[in-house]
Structure 1
Amino acid sequence: RQAMAAVQATAGADTVRGQFLDLERDFGPMPDREALDTVSEYKSARYSVLAPMQLGLLAAGADAAAHEKELARYARLLGVSGQMRDDYLDLFADADTVGKPAGSDLREGRRSYAVCALLAATNGAERAVVESALTGPTCPPQTVERVQDIARRHSVDKQLLAEIRRGAEEAAAVAATWRGRWRDEAVEFFEQLPLWGALRAK
């Protein structure tokens, strides 16, 4: 029980840290890829993936600490891939499918994976359009559509999809190494989870 409580406490503290990192990402200097990945890890992957897996091992009587490195790698890869999928869907998905208008990250000034990729790919008039969309909730749908067109022109959508798929495949490969140690059906679930996440429509 003490070990399980420690996992929960650590997950809670990590999530708080992730929230602070999230604010720094959106209001500080333009984040690089490592900064974006760290936000994804601390804000979501550690409590939604790593902690539940650690708790499951502890409940089964296993030594979770003995698997810390590989579990942390799997969680980070899955968390990053999942967040990138969220960011991709926010900009490119059909509004009726996801249940909200496209471009909410833009309107909220969030430096998501998609937004950062867009800013890195553009300059001049195109970059000005993207930056104008980041100014607040009054950004009209027509501007979001222009941003989408610019993103597709620079293959930002394809770049994101490729990175999402690559991260999911790396996470699945980590899970595949668990065969022979844990039940086959459990390993199969953890192998398929990242790939499902990479293809989800909402």
Structure 2
Amino acid sequence: PQLISGEAEDVAFELREFSDLSSAEIIDMLRKKTGLLLRFAAESGVMVALGVDDHLHPDVKNLGDFAETVGLAFQLQDDVLGMFADEAKLGKPVGSDLRQGKRTYLFAKALELVGDEERMSLLNTLANPNGTAEEMKGVTDLLISSGALSAVEDEIKRYKADADSLLTSYPDSTYTSFLLKWSDFACTRSY
């Protein structure tokens, strides 16, 4: 039910005024939408591998926590890429989240960090499908100068460190190496 509610919240957020959404609400939605999907996949795999039917088993919980945390980092990296990626690598127009008025953590963080004038400018640019290249440049500059981009990148690093620390109780192996590489990819990908 929470996974479905995450998708529903993502759609419902499009109907709310952006200025009424907090970054914490967006993180909660992303946790439900992506984090719990990856948690379910990880927990299911661990239960099958161990032959247990107990989601509270320490390994099931631990690897579920790992996958959920990587999922959050993945989503935040997606927000960053949506504004700063190489379009050819990304496969979609950079700035499409802005033009569509997508309620992203990056935009919410910027709205929390900027002053009133910059806030109004950003709110006026959000969801403007006809936004000019100059307006787009103004938003990317604002995301950088406000510290929003840096804050989100720090959050991604924190999620990655938290996720990776969950693997320290396991011996070095091909499997833990694979999970660490997956975590690294999710947090540093360029597409």
TM-score normalized by the length of structure 2: 0.86
Aligned to 2:6: 18
Q: Distance in 2 between matches of 1:77 and 1:54?
A: 13
1:38 positional shift: 1.8
Aligned partners of 1:107 and 1:137 also within 8 Å: yes
Using a 3 Å threshold, how does the CA distance of structure 1 residues 72 and 55 change in structure 2: closer, same or farther? closer
Using a 3 Å threshold, how does the CA distance of structure 1 residues 33 and 72 change in structure 2: closer, same or farther? farther
Q: Which runs of 5+ in 1 are unaligned?
A: 1-12
What is the CA RMSD across the aligned residues, in angstroms?
2.1
Q: Distance in 2 between matches of 1:76 and 1:56?
A: 14
Q: Is 1:62 the counterpart of 2:51 in the alignment?
A: yes
Q: Distance in 2 between matches of 1:35 and 1:74?
A: 21
Aligned partner letter, 1:186 = Y
1:86 positional shift: 0.1
Q: Distance in 2 between matches of 1:108 and 1:19?
A: 17
Aligned to 1:6: none
Q: Which runs of 5+ in 2 are unaligned?
A: none
Q: Is 1:107 the counterpart of 2:99 in the alignment?
A: yes
Using a 3 Å threshold, how does the CA distance of structure 1 residues 71 and 32 change in structure 2: closer, same or farther? farther
**SS of the residue 1:60 aligns to:** helix
Q: Distance in 1 between matches of 2:61 and 2:68?
A: 11
Number of paired residues?
A: 186
Higher relative contact order (CA 8 A, sep 6+): 2
Moved more, 105-114 or 124-133: 124-133
Q: Distance in 2 between matches of 1:28 and 1:76?
A: 26
Aligned to 1:136: 128
Q: Distance in 2 between matches of 1:45 and 1:200?
A: 17
1:152 positional shift: 1.4
Q: Is 1:185 the counterpart of 2:177 in the alignment?
A: no
Aligned to 1:150: 142
Q: Distance in 2 between matches of 1:19 and 1:113?
A: 15
Q: How does 1:1-202 map to 2 (within 5 A)?
A: 13-28=1-16, 30-47=20-37, 49-63=38-52, 64-65=54-55, 66-67=57-58, 68-177=60-169, 179-180=170-171, 184-202=173-191
Aligned partner letter, 1:112 = T
Aligned partners of 1:84 and 1:113 also within 8 Å: yes
